[in-house]
A and B are shown apart, each in its own frame.
Chain A
Amino acid sequence: MFNKLNIWYCSSLLVSLIVAIPILTVFTSFFDTTSDYLILLKNTFLLQYIFNTIFLLIGVLTLTFVFGVGAAYFVSFFSFPGVSFFKWALILSFAVPAYIYAYSLTAFFENYGTAFTILTNLFGEYEYNKYIPKFDGSFGSIISMSFSFFGYVYVLTRASFYYQSQNLIEVGKNLGFSSKESFLKIIMPSARPAIVAGLSLVAMECLSDFGTVSFFSISTLTTGIYNSWISFDDLNTANQLSFVLLAFILILFLVENYSRKGAKYHQPTKGFKPIPKIELTGTKSLFAVLFCSALFFFSFIFPVSQMIYWTVKFPKYFQDINLLSLNMNTLLLVFLSSIFLVIFSFLTNYGNRVSKSKFLNYLSTFSISGYAIPGVILAVALITFFSWLSDISSSIFGSSSFKSIFIGSIFGLVLAYFIRFFSLSFNGIKSGYLKINQSMDESAYLLGYTKFKTFTKIHIPYLKNSIFLIGVLISIEIIRELPITLILRPFNFETFATKAYAYASQDLLEAAALPSLFLIFWAALFILLTSKYILSDK
């Protein structure tokens, strides 16, 4: 055992231990004592929390299925004006977090909001408020999340549709299937694992969402966890609610994993022949253009326009908001997290590769489970754990400064991001490594190159695109991330997300516009930089 304790084992073990912190904390807290708040909650609102969570989930899954599969269907199989533009433009929805979409939606439709101003300017003064629909509460949340999350279903389904081979369609025709029957009986069943995988990601995002439901004051399990901690100072109740939410997520995780296993049977084979696109004309073409345009408009142009409108209308916030500091803070978090994530992902992946150890493989599989833990749970669990550790340390060493290293510090924040986004980074490097055949390493050894030289001469140059892609994806996630940053950040440390949230929660939506706009700008820029990979059909 001890001769195996090399750098690969140590790094894999360390990552697993770090990821285990929130999971173990939540599970052990299940047996801890709580304040009366939990009993109160059980008797009053707990069922409502669960009901609201499920209601949101069903609504968001239904809409994202229609948006995502519909868009993927049009873009993959048909040729119509603007199809090449829509192919990548639709992924820009990733740049708009659901909570910022919620701010735009409210700002536009609220009493005397933007819609009211437009109507007044066009048709003169009138009581328009009575006729303008209100998008708030659960309905507003479902709309906001659906437009923000449908990209997951779109990207995965499109890749799956792309890999439907023309040969399969031709076999279908040979067996007497019409085009409609081919779609329903051949294409859709083949794409099912991808659609389920996309919907599972949407479901996880929906269950993890804090910013949107909090803004619309919907009581869900996530807001329940946050309130238990911030309003009632009851970490154990927060952790017990987390346990319920994690159970939901575990089910989704299993569904997603199950569907992915099926997906391997849908990889293209040597005889792969792409399906030629059908040229749409007349009303069919118009319908496709309208569907994709509406989706692009509502998912990206609408929230961005609303934010630009307010930023221009209220220029004083340019002076009130320290943009340089927000940029620097965001950049700092992105930089530090990316460095740690990439280094440890390399160490664990390379360790798995050279050692071929099953134990290391199990550790890595466990380590990537962090992405399933919602930000709120992660943050609260880390606070619980480090408070407990601090209590132990102060009782032994008489010092309680331990807590401040991890809670309310950049270090704690980077640690939480590390747990949450390790799977993104690990899987990114892993998929790059899968393309390097093991015999390539062996060829290098046999040509006289050591393991280290093989790493620097073969792996690093080959994986440089993967490293770039991972860096950018981590950046997008961290820029958009809200609950972890909100709960664990140092005092007075703001990012675009927390600044926008702070203003929005004070009903100063016009002030939230500027940081929101910057957030969308950075995220969109990073998405465009990686669009080639996101839409690489793999």
Chain B
Amino acid sequence: MSSNFLEIQNVTFTASKVNKVNNVSFKIEKEGEIVCLLGPSGIGKTTILRTIAGLQTVQSGKITLKGKTISSSDFNLEPEKRNIALSFQDNSLFPHYNVVDNINFGSKRNKNSKFKYTSADLIKTLHLEDLTEKFPHQISAGEAQRVSLARSLMSKPDLLLLDEPFSNIDQSLKDELQLNIKKVLKEMNITTIVVTHDSYEAFYLADKCGIILDQSLKQYDTPYKIYHYPNSIEVVNFLNRGILLDAKVISEDSLEQLELGIIKGKFIRKFPKGTSVKLLIQPEDLEHDDKSKLKLKIVDRKFRGTNFIYTLQTKNKDLIPVFVHSHHIHQHEVEEEFGIKTPIFIDHLVCF
């Protein structure tokens, strides 16, 4: 018997004849872990959640929860018997019940369990105090999303599935809610799978992330490793946090790039000397130095509050993003030259 909390083994998730995610395998080892599935819209992420919830059947492979098979090609445990809660993207609140009744609707399952949260606690945590007597049509989409989440939490599920839980919530409230929800999920030790297309959200919430691209699960790892050690060009392109530049491996710990010169660092994968590779340069890899002789032209500057992102253009027309602290002594304008500190050292060299 498997000792993993949840295990997906070679399952093909089918949304339609053309839209499917093939041969997916991943596991959640410990109860209380949070997993985020990241991918572009329409890739089949919601189908994965619906299948785990039992609302859709599997054609091949097997899903086990706490060691028991809940879905396989010849068996599908009914959704109401799984103790898995799904908070839908459209919220699916019951229109004829007010907010507090909607939340209490979820308490049917937890009557016998040692559940320390009351609906009042969840209402407070999710900032729903002013809405309790209101009906779903009287609240905003973001508020409805929070109510839906509270209702799912009230059922104290073995596994909580959240479909784009923060998609309709204002940025100002999002950060605080993410903090609160993560705290609640960890305190309640509720194992959760979150589907999202926002990598910031996923990296904050998740213990592990799965990247779904081109009908398959491309990478399943911790957020840190996903970001710093992407395993394919597709993952790099999806995360969109850097650029791939042509370079040549010149030794065990360095390579040469036409414009940037010698770059030193530790290769995460070994390449023979002389190999032409694509080197990933992320915004934090290069450092600004006004005195440096290595200069590139600024073609764009974005102010992001805590930092600037300068976009620098090489002679090859490649565009390299570079972070600079926003308290930097002076700002550079577009069309000006931007100095890059040399020699360049990147902690881990990601090449393909």
Q: Is B188 an interface residue (CB 8 A)?
A: no
Q: Is A181 an interface residue (CB 8 A)?
A: no
Q: Is B88 an interface residue (CB 8 A)?
A: yes
CB 8 Å contact bits of B72-100 with A (1 = contact, 0 = none):
00000011101111101010111110000
Q: Which residue of A lies closest to B110 (CB)?
A: A448
Q: Is A443 an interface residue (CB 8 A)?
A: yes
Contacts of B148 in A (CB 8 A): 443
The reply to whether A435 and B155 form a contact with Cβ atoms under 8 Å apart is no
Contacts of A461 in B (CB 8 A): 96
Which of B88, B96, B108, B109 contacts A439 (CB under 8 A)? B88
Q: Is A55 an interface residue (CB 8 A)?
A: no
Contacts of A440 in B (CB 8 A): 92-94
Nearest CB of chain B from residue A123's CB, rounded to whole Å:
62
The reply to whether B90 and A437 form a contact with Cβ atoms under 8 Å apart is yes
Q: Is B26 an interface residue (CB 8 A)?
A: no
Q: Is B106 an interface residue (CB 8 A)?
A: yes
The reply to whether A447 and B92 form a contact with Cβ atoms under 8 Å apart is no
The reply to whether A446 and B95 form a contact with Cβ atoms under 8 Å apart is no
Which of B80, B85, B88, B96 contacts A449 (CB under 8 A)? B80
Contacts of B88 in A (CB 8 A): 439, 442-443
Q: Give Cα distance in the complex from A447 to B79, angstroms.
A: 9
Q: Is A362 an interface residue (CB 8 A)?
A: no
Q: Is A462 an interface residue (CB 8 A)?
A: yes
Which of B95, B96, B106 contacts A447 (CB under 8 A)? B106
Q: Is A450 an interface residue (CB 8 A)?
A: yes
Contacts of A442 in B (CB 8 A): 50, 53, 55, 79, 86, 88, 92
The reply to whether B95 and A435 form a contact with Cβ atoms under 8 Å apart is yes
Number of A-B contacts (CB under 8 A): 60
The reply to whether A447 and B85 form a contact with Cβ atoms under 8 Å apart is yes
Interface of A is mostly: helix
Q: Is B227 an interface residue (CB 8 A)?
A: no
Nearest CB of chain A from residue B102's CB, rounded to whole Å:
10
Size category, B interface: 20 to 34
Q: Is A51 an interface residue (CB 8 A)?
A: no
The reply to whether B79 and A446 form a contact with Cβ atoms under 8 Å apart is yes
Q: Is B105 an interface residue (CB 8 A)?
A: yes
CB contact under 8 A between A447 and B78, given known A458-B94, A461-B96: no
The reply to whether B94 and A446 form a contact with Cβ atoms under 8 Å apart is no
Q: Give Cα distance in the complex from A440 to B55, angstroms.
A: 12
The reply to whether A445 and B78 form a contact with Cβ atoms under 8 Å apart is yes
List A426-440 residues whose CB lies under 8 Å from chain B: 435-437, 439-440
Q: Give Cα distance in the complex from A445 to B155, angstroms.
A: 12
Q: Is B146 an interface residue (CB 8 A)?
A: no
Nearest CB of chain B from residue A24's CB, rounded to whole Å:
38
List A397-440 residues whose CB lies under 8 Å from chain B: 435-437, 439-440
The reply to whether A446 and B105 form a contact with Cβ atoms under 8 Å apart is no
Contacts of A437 in B (CB 8 A): 90, 92
List A308-365 residues whose CB lies under 8 Å from chain B: none
Q: Is B295 an interface residue (CB 8 A)?
A: no
Nearest CB of chain A from residue B133's CB, rounded to whole Å:
18
Residue of B79, B82, B106 ringed by the most chain A CB atoms within 10 A: B79
Which of A447, A450, A462 contacts B105 (CB under 8 A)? A447
Q: Which residue of B lies closest to A438 (CB)?
A: B92
* A-B CB proximity, top 4 nearest: A439-B92, A445-B79, A443-B92, A448-B109
